[in-house]
Amino acid sequence: MKKEKAFIFDLDGVIVDTAKYHFLAWRNLANSLGFEFTEEQNELLKGVSRVKSLEILLKIGNVELTEDKKQTLLIQKNTEYLQYVNKMTAEEILPGINELLDFLDQNNIKYALGSASKNAPLILEKVGLLNRFTAIVDGNDVSKAKPDPEVFLIGAQKLNMKPEDCIVVEDAIAGVEAANAANMLSIGIGDAEVLKEADYVLSDTTGFTTDFIQKILN
Ligand code: G6P
Ligand code: MG
C-alpha cells in the first residue's frame, strides 16, 4: 500500500493572491510617510509577518519611528487591508486550486493551512474554503516566523502526520526554506530561479495536473 501523505498549503500567493491588497495598503502607508513604495519592493514582503514587513518598509523609506507610532501604523495598514479582504469572493481562488482540493478530498488526502497571516481564517471564510481544511495554523499560532519550520511542524501535528509525509506548497523563499527545515517535500509556486531550493517548482497553480500530483504522491 502507498504511504499516506498530507498537504500543507501557504495561503497568500498559493490559494489566493492577496499580495496585491497588501501592496496597496503598504504603498498608501509609505506615501503618507512621504516616500514611494514599488511593486518590486513589495516582493520583499511576501511571506514576511506584518511586524517584520513594517520594519522593511521603514528601512526602504529611511524612516525611524517610536514603538507607539509603529503600533498605530500596523493597525492603520491592517484596517485598509481588511477593506479589500472583506470584498473577496470565491472568484479569487487561484486557478487549479479548487480542482486540486477536490482531487485531495476524493482520494482521502488530508490538508492543512500553514500561513504567516493573522487574517488567514477570515480570508478563507471570504472565499468559502474555511471548512475544507482539516487544520489551520496561522500567524496567531506561531512564535517563530518562516523560515523557521514551526508553522509547518504544528500543521503536521494537527494532521497527525509525520513531517516527512507532508508536502508543502509555498510561493515565498522563506516558506520553501521553512518546509525544507521541517523535513517536508517542498513545492514552490513561482520563478524556478528564485525558488531554487524547492524540491519541485511550478510557475503557477495551474501546474497541479493529475499527472503531477500522482508523481509527487509516489
Ligand atoms: C503572508 C503574506 C505576507 C504578510 C503576512 C502577514 O505571509 O505573504 O505578505 O505580511 O502573511 O499577514 P497579515 O494578514 O497577518 O498582515
Ligand atoms: Mg505566500
Distance, CA of 65 to CA of 59 (rounded, Å): 11
Q: 123 in ligand 1 pocket by Cβ < 6 Å? A: no
Average pLDDT, the chain: 96
Q: 77 in ligand 1 pocket by Cβ < 6 Å? A: no
Please tell me the predicted confidence (pLDDT) of residue 3: 84
pTM (2 d.p.): 0.95
Residues that place a CB less than 5 A from ion ligand 2: 10, 12-13, 47, 171-172
Distance, CA of 4 to CA of 108 (rounded, Å): 9
* More confidently predicted of 46 and 164: 164
Q: For 57-68, write each residue's pLDDT tens digit.
A: 999 999 999 999
Please tell me the predicted confidence (pLDDT) of residue 43: 86
> Which CB contacts under 8 angstroms, 24+ apart, belong to 190-197?
190/13, 195/170, 195/171, 197/173
Nearest CA owner, ligand 1 atom 16: 50
In the reported structure, the alpha carbon of residue 77 is separated from the centroid of ligand 1 by a whole-number distance in angstroms of 11
Q: For 1-19, write each residue's pLDDT tens digit.
A: 578 999 999 999 999 999 9
Mean pLDDT of 12-38: 97
Q: For 81-94, write each residue's pLDDT tens digit.
A: 999 999 999 999 99
Distance, CA of 59 to CA of 127 (rounded, Å): 34
C-alpha cell at 128: 468559502
Q: For 129-179, write each residue's pLDDT tens digit.
A: 999 999 999 999 999 999 999 999 999 999 999 999 999 999 999 999 999
Asked if 11 contacts 115 with a C-beta cutoff of 8 angstroms, the reply is yes
Please tell me the predicted confidence (pLDDT) of residue 197: 97
- Kindly report the length of the chain: 218
In the reported structure, the alpha carbon of residue 194 is separated from the centroid of ligand 2 by a whole-number distance in angstroms of 14
The residues annotated with a catalytic role in the active site are: 10, 12
